[in-house]
Amino acid sequence: MQREIMSKKKSSQVHCLPSGELMTASTSKRIPEIRLYKAWKGNNRFFCGGRLIFGPDVSSLFLTSFLIGAPALTFCIRMLVWIRRGDPCFNYTVLTSGFILTLLDFLFLLLTSARDPGIIPRNKTSMNLEDGSESSLTQSMEWVNNKTPHLKVPKTKDVFVNGYTIKVKFCDTCLLYRPPRASHCSICNNCVQRFDHHCPWVGQCIARRNYPFFICFISTSTLLCLYVFVFSWINLIRQPGKLWRTMSHDIVSVILIVYTFVAVWFVGGLTIFHFYLMSTNQTTYENFRYRYDKKENPYKRGLLKNVKEVFFAKIPPSQLDLRAMVPEEDDLTIASEYQSEYSSSVRYDSEMGGKLTNRDSPKKLPMRARNLDNIDLSDDYDKSLATRDDVSLDLSSHLN
């Protein structure tokens, strides 16, 4: 009886795997698990255990922080030194306001650069081959160019947004059809929702989830430049004596005036440009590529609704769980599966512009792809219009 009990305990212990490991049924091989951010296929940089996500050019934040912090802190120190020489109440007020503006500027910089901008997870479901099946996609059947002659997945397909036909493209890197207004960032190597641009000054993509903070960042930077410029002049004028003689003695204020005068043209012009884009419901990418001033903008909803969409709409949650546990070999398995089944011996990455080698011979590609759609338009236009075009927006029906 005791032997039977012991044998049952041993048999039950055989199926207990330690945390962080998986066992495949076919090979009975233990596969260790790691955090998703450690197996990330993009070019992003992660800190604090995957809680903070930056672009590959995160080092540019040091330069940006220096360009903002150096003149701002110099101005605050200058006001602190001179606080007893004039009106203490005035100097304390100017010092406190300048310090608060500087803190807000750095806060918005961090919120812009250290969060997920709206990255779309890559498709990890392989495309299944069904012989004899015919695709029921729309009339937009543009096949892959000469660089990828074996790929039979349509490069574009049509969806309807506010009564307009929008072409959505298939991403050869992420293996999915991009949602409207999404684009693949060649620097971060990710598809990003409502992609605006990749900003080298913040080291991050500017997109759906951090665009409001980016607007606040450049607006606060402009206000900070104007603030330092104006009160540096006031400090010169309030000193007794002729202006030129005062300027020769107060070199710090003169340097701050020149620096902020030059800087405000750049950051101020950028702020005005993005307020124009926000008021017309455009992105930088769309403005330079599609030129909506020459044709109708399908996303334009009126000035108030456009501004409300940026500042008062709820920011959607991130689609990434970077601290989730995934199999360590998951990244390699997916890549090899796609390359071996659906690629030629030399495959070009149309997004990144490079070649991807493959050891296997070319195989026939499927006419039907599953789980390639990642399209959510509910936050980009009125729900009433979305309901009207619900049939057209159900992209999965195109592939069945």
Check 199, 205, 216, 225 and give the catalytic one. Answer: 199
Distance between CA atoms of residues 24 and 269, nearest Å: 57
Contact 315, 210 (CB under 8 A): no
What's the rounded Cα separation, in Å, for the pair 276 and 273?
Answer: 5
Confirm if 371 and 138 have CB atoms less than 8 A apart. no
Beta-sheet strands, E only, within the chain: 21-23, 30-35, 45-47, 52-54, 156-161, 164-171, 176-177, 183-185, 190-192, 197-199, 204-206, 325-327, 346-349, 354-357
Active site residue 199: yes
Q: Which helix (DSSP H) or strand (DSSP E) does residue 147 occupy? A: none
- Residues near 361 by beta carbon (within 8 Å), at least 6 away in sequence: 345
Tokens 């309030």 found at: 238
Active site residues: 199
